[in-house]
Structure 1
């Protein structure tokens, strides 16, 4: 699959970043790989220090990358947060911003950030079959919907919101209009 640009929400302008893109790959039905590329004045991003790669709540309040997976014909969806610190969080929602449950998949998501001159890159592996409440039948043979987003905090304390698609109004990554990408399961 090719890299897709994330769009900056018009209500959160920022002159620090030039672009954010994501490439989505699924080499096996149970593995989802996200390749994020963030370019611009990376030195002006507010980045957390490295930490143990483990569950950490409220990563969305700071610089982090996000993904959401929705089940078709259901209000259920899953939120994934990935910090440049290597920390992560996974939540299950029963409906729009309702019934949030923290999850601790085993194996957990693998989060790798690399910083280069003018670029911050992240490679993230999500084992879908390790997500509690996401069944093999839902992974295989059905279309899951994916939203991909980013929360970027700069050195001035401003936060910009980026996504493949933004619903009308204020930034809202949980809104179904933002689930712009279909992940097709095995049709066999």
Structure 2
């Protein structure tokens, strides 16, 4: 499993986030986010049941996965809330179309999403997305980011 430390803005340097990416099967993506918040600045949304799809998760603490495609402009953005809600969006190119909320993507399925004592774990099924666009794992670029709502601001 490859892991990467995400770079924070200066004002949140006391908080660190590490993301790990694992390809479990030809179309299953597992991602873990580990958060270190020794000062307990983070504000978490209330938990919900059954992993519903909600829009505007980025308005609170939220983790994001971007799935890009080699030599293509289109991509998917997956938002994952510590509340255990999630959403996937489709874009033709960077932030286009500009609909708000963005257009939901239903070609990525959630296998598992769980807030943990250290952060968040997710397993996503990319098989429909990959099949529809005739993609192999080597065609994908994966990006991770986090939106952190803290007592110090966002």
Partner of 2:19: 22
Misfit runs of 4+, over 4 Å: none
Where do residues 1-188 of structure 1 align in structure 2 (5 Å cutoff)? Answer: 1-10=1-10, 13-14=11-12, 16-17=14-15, 19-41=16-38, 43-52=40-49, 53-99=51-97, 100-105=102-107, 107-115=109-117, 120-131=118-129, 135=132, 137-138=134-135, 140=136, 142-156=138-152, 158-159=153-154
TM-score of the two chains, using structure 1 as the length reference: 0.71
- SS of residue in 2 equivalent to 1:60: helix
- Unaligned 5+ segments in structure 1 are 160-188
In the alignment, the residues of structure 1 paired with residue 73 and residue 28 of structure 2 have an alpha-carbon distance, to the nearest angstrom, of: 23
Checking the alignment, whether the CA contact within 8 Å between 2:27 and 2:137 is kept in structure 1 is: no
- Unaligned 5+ segments in structure 2 are none
Checking the alignment, whether the CA contact within 8 Å between 1:77 and 1:92 is kept in structure 2 is: yes
Cα gap change, 1:141/1:127 in structure 2, threshold over 3 Å: closer, same or farther?
closer
Pairwise CA distance, 1:121? 2.1
Checking the alignment, whether the CA contact within 8 Å between 2:65 and 2:77 is kept in structure 1 is: yes
RMSD of Structure 2 on Structure 1 (CA): 2.1
Pairwise CA distance, 1:9? 3.1
TM-score of the two chains, using structure 2 as the length reference: 0.86
Checking the alignment, whether the CA contact within 8 Å between 1:66 and 1:150 is kept in structure 2 is: yes
In the alignment, the residues of structure 1 paired with residue 64 and residue 39 of structure 2 have an alpha-carbon distance, to the nearest angstrom, of: 18
